[in-house]
A = this chain, B = another copy of it.
Amino acid sequence: MDSSNTRLPAHRRQRILSELDSKGAVRVEELGRLFSVSEMTVRRDLDALEAEGLLERTHGGALPLRHVHRERVFREKDHEQREAKESIALLAASLIPEGETVLVNSGSTTRLVIRHLARRPDLRIITNNMAAVAELPETVAAEVLLIGGRYRPESGCAVGEWALRLLEDLAPARAILGADGISLKAGLSSPVPEEAALTRRMIEIVNSVDVVADSAKVGRVCPFRIGPLESVSRIISDSDTWAPEFREAGVTVVVPEELALSPSPQNPGGMPGSF
């Protein structure tokens, strides 16, 4: 894979950065093995990158600089179910047809979704998820529209009256939404009233709703109701042991294995180079 180009020191450092971006953390030993260089060289690379303000050095490796402040929160939400969320996000993004405008709400799963969507030059992303947008590389291909409003530092997104009003001007075709609670009877729910209100409004203005959620969220009910299950077109998750009842209720449930077994009709071999 890293045939000849990686021998270029500058290129290796760039790849360290992108490795950091995708993995969330890098280790010296791991990078040395990946690039076939000594650990001393990796250390010198990391030191140089830190001096340039591009990462945060730690014992044994490095962390991205962007989230040093919210490290604790990110760590919990981020590492919990990280792999599940990553595969869900990749799948959800691949299900979006070419040229669409997609509305995306706040949350750590949708953050990963945005990361994938942003690489596609054919898409337009509308979101209140500032944390997700702020961490995107300069090389964003998609057009990104930000919904303003009151900033909620706990989730890194915009909420409130202002955000709700802004949604009135929009009528995108589809939405990819995260929800902390998904239940047959209670539908979608959130622990934060303002985010529930905003997500509810998002559902109202689009034609098609994809919900992304790891299986831990299924069956959970949070205090603030977003809306009933009928408004959901598809649920994209990492397992479908719970799916039969949902499918009976008329919701399509998609899991990564399905994609691997049979090519998705929505995306017949589409955009292979984009991911």
The answer, among B11, B53, B69, for a CB contact under 8 Å with A137, is: B69
- Segment from A19-27, A204-212, A247-255 that makes contact with B: A19-27
In the assembled complex, the CB of A42 is this many whole angstroms from the nearest CB of chain B, namely: 13
Q: Contact mask A159-171 → B, CB, 8 Å, 1/0?
A: 0001100100000
- Segment from A142-150, A177-185, A231-239, A259-267 that makes contact with B: A142-150
- Does A58 sit at the interface, judged by CB under 8 A? yes
The answer, among B9, B70, B74, B149, for a CB contact under 8 Å with A139, is: B70
**A25→B11 contact, CB < 8 A:** yes
**B54→A25 contact, CB < 8 A:** no
Q: How far apart sit A59 and B9, CA to CA, in the bound complex (Å)?
A: 7
**B59→A10 contact, CB < 8 A:** yes
Q: How far apart sit A27 and B4, CA to CA, in the bound complex (Å)?
A: 8
The answer, among B54, B58, B75, for a CB contact under 8 Å with A10, is: B58
**B148→A166 contact, CB < 8 A:** yes
Residues on B with beta carbons closer than 8 Å to the beta carbon of A139: 66-67, 70, 153
**A14→B53 contact, CB < 8 A:** no
How many residues of A are in contact with the other chain, CB < 8 A? Answer: 62
In the assembled complex, the CB of A250 is this many whole angstroms from the nearest CB of chain B, namely: 34
**A24→B9 contact, CB < 8 A:** no
In the assembled complex, the CB of A216 is this many whole angstroms from the nearest CB of chain B, namely: 18
In the assembled complex, the CB of A43 is this many whole angstroms from the nearest CB of chain B, namely: 14
**B8→A27 contact, CB < 8 A:** yes
- Does A40 sit at the interface, judged by CB under 8 A? no
- Does A5 sit at the interface, judged by CB under 8 A? yes
Q: How far apart sit A60 and B158, CA to CA, in the bound complex (Å)?
A: 37
**B151→A137 contact, CB < 8 A:** no
Within 8 A of B (CB), among A1-44: 4-11, 14, 17, 23-27, 30
8 A-B contact pairs sorted by A residue (CB < 8 Å):
A7-B60, A8-B25, A8-B27, A9-B60, A130-B134, A139-B153, A144-B153, A148-B148
Residues of A within 8 A of B (CB): 4-11, 14, 17, 23-27, 30, 52-54, 56, 58-61, 63, 66-71, 73-75, 78-79, 130-131, 133-140, 143-151, 153-154, 156, 158, 162-163, 166
Across chains A and B, which 8 residue pairs bring their CB atoms closest together, nearest first? A148-B148, A134-B134, A70-B138, A10-B58, A144-B151, A5-B25, A11-B25, A69-B137
